[in-house]
A and B are shown apart, each in its own frame.
Chain A
Amino acid sequence: MSLQVRLNIPRKDFSINVSLSVTPGQVTSVFGPSGCGKTSLMRAIAGLENGATGQIRMADEVWQSDDYFRPPHQRDIGYVFQDASLFPHLNVFDNLQFGLRRQTRDKRRVSLEQAIDLLALSSLLKRSVDTLSGGEKQRVAIARAVATSPSVLLFDEPLAAVDIAHKQEILRYIQSLHRELDIPMLYVSHAIDEVARLSDNLVLLEKGQQLASGKTADLLSQLSLPFANYEEAAAVLDTTVSGRDEFYGLNQLAFAGGQLQVSHGNLKQGEKVRLRIMARDVSLTLTRHENSSILNIFPAVIESMANEGAAQKLVRLNAGGQIILSRITAKSADELRLQPGMQVFAQVKAISPLV
């Protein structure tokens, strides 16, 4: 049940050329600056964009080809729009039921109760939609899309109209959908933290052209891609909770390159946790410092280095197969005589679990 897309969408100043696939249980993000064609791509997949040519296949169903166009209401999608505008003439419950009632019975796999539970809407059902906050509206919109049991969920910058305080909350709900349902998701955003947190795969779009695509962790740590130049350049690690130090309230997380200790709440043994380690929070030493306040120190090999202006260098490290980025001053790099292939120790000052 994977979605295969190969599209060409002509626009005034450039044309969008994308080819991607979304597999079940996976989140694929399309990342790029505003106006790069992300939204047009999503609309074309939904059948809302005129003039798009190419192929769209969902499992063995053809949605679009050179001589066929399936109208939007016959495509098995759940679309979450940027501005969550719900039907103003219906209350929350009737909004949730709108798509569900129109889905054929044999295709219903998600129940209305499940959709309501997953997005914690049970207390809002009787409310009129114009009394809801931005975050609540978006939760209703997501549940409404999920309740149709779509073959693929499309999120078009779903956090754009949500205030900062509720962004994390909505992201957690989307993560729980990802965990609980086997629906492939396509997530469009220009916010790197959302993408780093949610997605397994990443497509980088610029002016309609696909610059790169691959595993999120791989792309975010490639020095040749623009991500590495962002102020918040970071590596993404997928870890498993391996233990807990009750005395100090620390969680032990295992990853390819060793163990990390993180003080983030109480995580369950065996739980998969994604971490984000900012390049600016990683410093390098040539020997392991025993008397340091930094807890997380592990050996790594320098893979490559890139200059960032005259003063800074970005170092790509390999710790047992896991890539970590480190941003250090050019002066330190010279004094330590850092070279690709050298064995160093990475000291991590701060880790943010993305849960």
Chain B
Amino acid sequence: MHPDLTALFITFKLAAITTLILLLVGTPLAWWLARSQWRFKFMIETVIALPLVLPPTVLGFYLLIMLGPNGPIGGLAEAVGGRPLAFTFTGLVIGSVFYSLPFVVQPLQNVFTAIGENVMEQAATLRASPLDRFFNVMVPIARPGFLTAAVLGFAHTIGEFGVVLMIGGNIPGETKVVSIAIYDHVESLEYTQAHLLSGGLLLLSFLMLMAVYGLNRRFSVLRS
């Protein structure tokens, strides 16, 4: 396979896995944030929002230390017979999950807050158990939020550079993603390839966001 295609494939694999993990982790987290009355909740919200303001290299630097052979997570991985997570695809996934967390949690938290307790209470009085009402009432009503969260998480992961640079290195076929490939092409003055990848990514991001806004208009249950 052409190295650029490999980079593209790794990018999408990374974005897909990251998005999946983020939806699984982000949904309960966002639910808790939307419902909890805990007075120090704002501290958790702050931590989740940090990647929005932190330079990706800072996040990447700390992740590198954590995931490396002397870091707590990397050390643990080594202790159970694995290898340190820095410069691996798994490490990249972990980094991306942290990096894109706010993009998934915030839209979900907003939609859960907007929907409110009332419909869930109605469902409870209509014999729906807690799980039943979450999946058959909250999730369908919150669909626009899930769609926004998934696409933002996915798109943001595709666009990451700094974090990947710090913890992923540049191993073709393993951790080399499109944004790094573009950087490499520009470095070696291969503008044609850089154009191709950049233009492709631009078009793709545009189409994805357009799909979200278009679909959300059709499903705008919340706005009515």
Instruction: Tell whether B1 is near chain A: CB-to-CB under 8 Å.
Output: no
Given contacts A46-B124, A85-B119, 14 further A-B contacts (CB under 8 A): A47-B124, A48-B124, A71-B124, A73-B133, A78-B125, A81-B121, A85-B122, A89-B137, A89-B140, A89-B141, A98-B128, A99-B125, A102-B126, A103-B127
From A79, A85, A86, A130, B125 is in contact (CB under 8 Å) with A79
Instruction: Tell whether B118 is near chain A: CB-to-CB under 8 Å.
Output: yes
Is B221 within 8 A of A89, CB to CB? Answer: yes
Q: Mark A268-295, 1 if CB is under 8 A from B, else 0.
A: 0000000000000000000000000000
State which residues 26-82 of A face B: CB under 8 Å: 46-48, 71-75, 77-79, 81
Instruction: Tell whether A148 is near chain B: CB-to-CB under 8 Å.
Output: yes
Instruction: Tell whether B113 is near chain A: CB-to-CB under 8 Å.
Output: no
Chain A residue with the shortest CB-CB distance to B121: A48
Binding site for B on A (CB under 8 A): 46-48, 71-75, 77-79, 81, 83, 85-89, 98-99, 102-103, 130, 144-145, 148
Give Cα A72 to B127, complex, Å: 7
Which chain B residues lie closer than 8 Å to A81 at the CB level? 118, 121-122
Give Cα A144 to B128, complex, Å: 13
Instruction: Tell whether B188 is near chain A: CB-to-CB under 8 Å.
Output: no
Which chain A residues lie closer than 8 Å to B192 at the CB level? none
A-B contact pairs, 25 of them (CB 8 A): A47-B124, A48-B121, A72-B121, A72-B124, A72-B125, A73-B128, A73-B129, A73-B130, A73-B133, A74-B127, A79-B122, A79-B125, A81-B122, A83-B118, A85-B119, A87-B119, A87-B123, A88-B221, A88-B222, A98-B123, A99-B126, A99-B127, A102-B126, A145-B126, A148-B127
Chain B residue with the shortest CB-CB distance to A84: B122
Indicate whether A130 sits within 8 Å of B137 (C-beta atoms), given known contacts A48-B121, A102-B126, A102-B128: no
Give Cα A79 to B119, complex, Å: 12
Q: How far is the CB of B221 from chain A (nearest CB, A)?
A: 5
Q: How far is the CB of B143 from chain A (nearest CB, A)?
A: 8
Which chain A residues lie closer than 8 Å to B126 at the CB level? 73, 98-99, 102, 144-145, 148
Instruction: Tell whether B132 is near chain A: CB-to-CB under 8 Å.
Output: yes
Q: How far is the CB of B124 from chain A (nearest CB, A)?
A: 4
State which residues 154-183 of B face A: CB under 8 Å: none
Which chain B residues lie closer than 8 Å to A89 at the CB level? 137, 140-141, 143, 221
Q: Mark B104-130, 1 if CB is under 8 A from A, else 0.
A: 000000000000001101111111111
Indicate whether A77 sits within 8 Å of B119 (C-beta atoms), given known contacts A89-B140, A89-B221: no
Instruction: Tell whether B224 is near chain A: CB-to-CB under 8 Å.
Output: yes
Which chain A residues lie closer than 8 Å to B133 at the CB level? 73
From B123, B124, B130, B141, A88 is in contact (CB under 8 Å) with B141
Indicate whether A46 sits within 8 Å of B125 (C-beta atoms), given known contacts A87-B119, A89-B221, A130-B224: yes
Indicate whether A102 sits within 8 Å of B125 (C-beta atoms), given known contacts A88-B141, A88-B224: no
Question: Of residues A46, A88, A130, A144, which shows the largest number of chain B Cβ atoms within 10 Å of its Cβ?
Answer: A88
Chain A residue with the shortest CB-CB distance to B221: A88
Is A77 within 8 A of B125, CB to CB? Answer: yes
Question: Of residues A81, A85, A89, A148, which shows the largest number of chain B Cβ atoms within 10 Å of its Cβ?
Answer: A89
Indicate whether A87 sits within 8 Å of B121 (C-beta atoms), given known contacts A102-B127, A130-B224, A148-B127: no
From B118, B143, B221, B222, A85 is in contact (CB under 8 Å) with B118
Give Cα A69 to B140, complex, Å: 29
Chain A residue with the shortest CB-CB distance to B219: A89
Which chain A residues lie closer than 8 Å to B124 at the CB level? 46-48, 71-73
A-B pairs with lowest CB-CB distance, top 9: A99-B126, A102-B127, A79-B125, A72-B124, A89-B140, A88-B221, A130-B224, A73-B124, A73-B127
